[in-house]
Structure 1
Amino acid sequence: MSTPVRLLLCDDHAVVRAGLRALLSSAAGIEVVGEAGSGEEALAMAARVHPDVVLMDLQLGDGMDGVTATRHLTAGGEYAEVAPRVLVLTMFDTDADITRAIEAGATGYLLKAERPDELFAAIHSAASGRTALSAPVADRLLAQMRSPRPTLSDREHEILGQLARGLGNREIARALFISEATVKTHLGRIYGKLGVETRAGAVAVAKERRLLA
């Protein structure tokens, strides 16, 4: 009989952790060896129980977020002699969240809407070092690869940065020593390149696509 996958749960909601533990108790070949309610707690727990896989939420309330915890865990070192695999389990599927998690070293990225059997299979895949992605997440990653980031001019980047600070057209014009009419012209080009119609939409897309410094 094969050794079960040693799993550490990390979610800041105790009810969610209890539900996951109850669900996973019915899964063959998976043993929950610990629970953590924060990123810091996950690092400390991993050093003690040496999990094969950490099931990691991204939003963990105050303190260290799931991406930072993932980066520390997958680096090994002081937190684990052998770096565990990290499988993200979250409600969020924005391009920015997915990209940050994968770049931090996550082996997989699942949404909390997954069916139990898909979660079980993903845990086993992660333990074996295979990538596990929810279908919507895989679709978004492919879309990112097919649609490269829009190219903005230096001036458009400057104006976008001022937008993110919440400045109006007149304030942007003063800050950059240009006319309000020029600001409006650049905004129109920025909206067109980002596929948005509002200032808030431009800032949201810029953050999602990591266009802001």
Structure 2
Amino acid sequence: MRIMLVDDHPLIREALARLLSIERDLDVVGATGDAEEAVRMAGELRPDVVVMDVDLHGADLKGVDGISATRALLAEHPAVKVVMLSASCSPSLIRDSAEAGAWGYLLKGDPADQIPEGIRAAARGEHPMGVEVARLCRTMGEAGGTGPDALGVEAPSLWPRATPFQRQTS
């Protein structure tokens, strides 16, 4: 499986690349911290899954965040599965990511094994969510909504009501 990493922090990119390099079925084919370069690289490298930092802005200094970069990347390469990676479990960021076409949303604070598992889940057509993201969606569902669409996602079919990626620790 071909993976591309997009994060504006070189340390995070390198750590993710090393984490994924020990997985036999995952091949990191490229990494960048620049949104425009990510779109160009996706065309050249044809990744199956892109791991995209939500807070992507430090490298290109053009104000392009990971959500805007996801929108641009998917406009040109709609077959790619984008999995957002964030330090934030903000309902608005989760909603905006889903509306931009992201396939899933993982947290940098989740256990390290959830990154490769989430990538595999996305490649299988599942919608991976980090522990806290799934918990937030469940909580909002219990408060009157029904899962991710309770966050205000206009296309609730993007992320199904029952989260298939449920390797959670309590």
Cα displacement string for residues 150-189 of structure 1 (whole angstroms, at most 9, x for unaligned residues): xxxxxxxxxxxxxxxxxxxxxxxxxxxxxxxxxxxxxxxx
- Aligned CA RMSD, in angstroms, stands at 2.0
How much has 1:83 moved relative to structure 2? 2.2
State the identity as a percent: 37
1:143 CA displacement: 2.9
Counterpart secondary structure, 1:60: coil
The equivalent residue for 1:141 is 137
Q: 2:82 aligns with which of 68, 86, 100?
A: 86
Matches within 5 A, 1:35-184: 35-61=31-57, 62-63=61-62, 64-75=64-75, 79-80=76-77, 83-147=79-143
Aligned to 2:4: 8
C-alpha distance in structure 1 between counterparts of 2:74 and 2:143, whole Å: 29
Secondary structure at the counterpart of residue 110 of structure 1: strand
Deviations 1:35-80 (A, max 9, x none): 11122111111011010000000111232111111122233xxx33
C-alpha distance in structure 2 between counterparts of 1:113 and 1:28, whole Å: 24
Higher relative contact order (CA 8 A, sep 6+): 2
CA distance in 2, matches of 1:54, 1:109: 12
Where in structure 2 are there 5+ consecutive unaligned residues?
A: 146-150, 153-170
TM-score by length of structure 1 reads 0.62
Give the structure with the higher percent helix. 1
Count, aligned residues: 143
| Separation in structure 2 between the aligned mates of residue 39 and residue 143 of structure 1, nearest angstrom | 33
SS state at 1:132 partner:
coil
> 2:28 aligns to what?
32
1:129 is paired with a residue whose SS is coil
* Counterparts of 2:104 and 2:83, CA distance in 1: 5
Could you tell me which runs of 5 or more consecutive residues in structure 1 were left unpaired when the two chains were aligned.
Answer: 150-207
Query: Which amino acid is the alignment partner of residue 11 of structure 2?
Result: V
Distance 2:103 2:35 in 1: 17
